[in-house]
């Protein structure tokens, strides 16, 4: 009997160990450029809002170089929206916050007197005493709100080809010519006699801007900002359009006097990341925003690969990848052979997702399109964290039921 109890204990420990291991293995780390709120240091005090949880269940914040999005939870008034339609908390990349969040119960909250320190700690007081929401204190005795986002001046990544680089990053650097200036996650200063490559990390993949020599007669600074699409009210390029990755990509250049540079004498090559699964989208296309006419302009000859899309432009502005959601239809662009296995988009067609393999294209061009995925393929994608946890839990229950049944059988004997 003692042996059976020990066996039950071991059997119970194994599923719980697997459960904990799965949770740890599937934890997604944020970064210095795309941060979240710490699960422990997450509370501030509001004189009218009570304790505010900046990492609540079903909410939470995302901090980038341009702003804060997401929701916090107030014990007195409920949700606080940091990226509402007609407002939104901004960040100037040095940690100085600005503009307003919206309390669903009490109104607007000013964050212009709040900063994020070089250690990721929120400091200062949001709001004012004369408003209904009142003030939010980030510096009280028991207050502590911390993020893993860091101001530009405090980041550990250095923009030097001669720096210490290892692993796959080092292999990538080996292919870059010696006269190339390189920076990652910080602005890049480019000399006219050198070419440059700026990389900005995002959760779905890197954004890359490659500048050839003599793009401008004078030195300039290149920067990339990834902005949540909900933070800016812009028109859509076509009906039912959705911005892929839910972001806009702002790629800017400034001269030594801080003046914006919009046009260049030679094309700049830009690569944007694509989400892993595209089978539920159609009308996939890349656009740049025309500020003067307040409209999106489609970029022709974009080169699509498995995880990214690349195109060349002689001007810098705001860019986005747009698509239309489809339940049983998927857009497959007609293509011709592109460089390095890529594909140059020439037109768009829509095909049905069926178990039969289908291709799209004209008979007068070289096809470079994979067969449409079958229904089974779509359903057999990578398991999510929730799927794995559910499977482990079901396995645990089944094992427990089996052990109890054996015990009852043994007692009857």
Alpha-carbon distance of 103 to 138, in angstroms, equals 17
Question: How many other C-beta atoms are found inside a 10 Å radius of the C-beta of residue 281?
Answer: 20
Burial 72-107, CB ≥16 within 10 A → b, else e: bbbeebeebbbbbeebbbbbebebbbebbbbbeebe
With 0-12 CB in 10 A as exposed, 13-18 as middle and 19+ as buried, what is 343? buried
State residue 97's pLDDT score.
95
Claim to verify: residue 241 and residue 216 sit in the same structural domain? yes
Mean pLDDT of successive 10-residue stretches along the chain, which has 413 residues: 45 46 39 84 93 88 90 90 87 92 88 94 94 93 92 64 39 49 85 87 90 88 89 86 89 85 91 79 87 91 84 93 66 44 43 33 33 39 64 83 79 63
Q: Is residue 364 part of a domain?
A: no
Between CA 409 and CA 413, with CA 411 as vertex, the angle to 5 degrees is 75
Q: Is residue 349 part of a domain?
A: no
Q: Is residue 231 part of a domain?
A: yes
* Domain-terminating residue out of 97, 118, 153: 153
* Dihedral of the alpha carbons of 182, 249, 328, 372, in degrees to the nearest 10: -20
Claim to verify: residue 389 and residue 275 sit in the same structural domain? no
Alpha-carbon distance of 181 to 87, in angstroms, equals 37
Claim to verify: residue 317 and residue 251 sit in the same structural domain? yes
Alpha-carbon distance of 241 to 244, in angstroms, equals 9
* Domain-terminating residue out of 327, 359, 376: 327
Tell if the pTM clears 0.75, that is, is over it.
no
Claim to verify: residue 128 and residue 187 sit in the same structural domain? no
Residue pair 235/294 in contact by the 8 Å Cβ criterion: yes
Claim to verify: residue 102 and residue 198 sit in the same structural domain? no
Q: Which two tokens stand for residue 29?
A: 């780390």
Claim to verify: residue 146 and residue 88 sit in the same structural domain? yes
State residue 28's pLDDT score.
35
Claim to verify: residue 208 and residue 313 sit in the same structural domain? yes
Alpha-carbon distance of 125 to 114, in angstroms, equals 6
For tokens 């892929």, the residue is 244
For tokens 């432009």, the residue is 313
Claim to verify: residue 176 and residue 88 sit in the same structural domain? no
Q: Which two tokens stand for residue 143?
A: 């207050």
Claim to verify: residue 147 and residue 134 sit in the same structural domain? yes
Q: Is residue 215 part of a domain?
A: yes
Claim to verify: residue 223 and residue 314 sit in the same structural domain? yes
For tokens 């159609």, the residue is 282
CATH number of 311's domain: 2.60.220.30
Residue pair 121/114 in contact by the 8 Å Cβ criterion: no
Q: Is residue 380 part of a domain?
A: no
Claim to verify: residue 303 and residue 396 sit in the same structural domain? no
* Domain-terminating residue out of 153, 178, 209: 153
Q: Which two tokens stand for residue 248?
A: 């806009």
Q: Is residue 352 part of a domain?
A: no
What is the torsional sign of CA 331, 333, 334, 337? negative
Claim to verify: residue 178 and residue 40 sit in the same structural domain? no
With 0-12 CB in 10 A as exposed, 13-18 as middle and 19+ as buried, what is 398? exposed
Number of domains in the chain: 3
With 0-12 CB in 10 A as exposed, 13-18 as middle and 19+ as buried, what is 152? middle
Q: Is residue 172 part of a domain?
A: yes
Residue pair 92/98 in contact by the 8 Å Cβ criterion: yes
Can you give the residue range of the structural domain that contains 174? 158-327
Q: Is residue 405 part of a domain?
A: yes
């Amino acid at each position: 009997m003692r042996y059976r109890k020990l066996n039950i204990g071991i059997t119970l420990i194994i599923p719980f160990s697997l459960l904990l291991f799965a949770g740890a293995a599937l934890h997604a780390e944020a970064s210095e450029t795309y941060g979240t709120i710490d699960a422990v240091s997450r509370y501030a005090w509001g004189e009218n809002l009570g304790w505010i949880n900046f990492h609540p269940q079903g909410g939470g914040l995302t901090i980038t170089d341009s702003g804060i999005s997401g929701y916090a939870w107030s014990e007195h008034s409920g949700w606080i929206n940091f990226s509402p339609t007609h407002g939104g908390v901004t960040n100037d990349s040095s940690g100085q916050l600005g503009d307003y969040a919206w309390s669903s119960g009490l109104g607007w909250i000013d964050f212009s007197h709040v900063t994020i320190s070089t250690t990721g700690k929120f400091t200062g007081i949001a709001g004012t005493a004369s408003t209904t929401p009142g003030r939010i204190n980030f510096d009280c005795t028991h207050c502590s709100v911390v993020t893993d986002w860091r101001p530009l001046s405090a980041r550990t990544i250095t923009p030097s080809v001669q720096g210490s680089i290892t692993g796959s990053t080092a292999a990538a650097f080996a292919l870059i010519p010696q006269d190339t200036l390189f920076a990652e996650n910080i602005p890049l200063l480019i000399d006219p006699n050198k070419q440059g490559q700026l990389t900005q990390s995002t959760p779905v993949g890197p954004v890359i801007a490659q500048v050839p020599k003599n793009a401008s007669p004078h030195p300039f600074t290149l920067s990339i900002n990834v902005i949540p699409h909900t933070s800016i009210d812009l028109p859509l390029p076509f009906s039912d359009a959705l911005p892929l990755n839910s972001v806009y990509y702002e790629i800017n250049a400034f001269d030594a006097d801080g003046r914006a540079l919009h046009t260049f004498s030679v094309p700049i090559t830009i690569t944007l990341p694509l989400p892993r699964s595209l089978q539920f989208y159609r009308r996939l296309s890349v656009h740049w925003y025309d500020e003067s006419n307040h409209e999106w302009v489609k970029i022709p000859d974009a080169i699509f690969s498995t995880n990214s899309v690349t195109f060349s432009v002689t001007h810098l502005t705001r860019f986005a990848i747009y698509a239309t959601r489809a339940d049983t239809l998927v857009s497959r662009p007609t293509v011709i052979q592109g460089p390095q296995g890529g594909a140059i988009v020439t037109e768009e067609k829509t095909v049905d997702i069926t178990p039969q393999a289908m291709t799209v294209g004209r008979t007068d061009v070289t096809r470079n399109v994979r067969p449409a995925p079958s229904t089974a393929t779509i359903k057999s994608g990578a398991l999510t964290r929730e799927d794995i946890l559910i499977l482990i839990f079901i396995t645990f229950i089944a094992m427990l039921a089996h052990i109890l049944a054996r015990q009852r059988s043994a007692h009857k004997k």
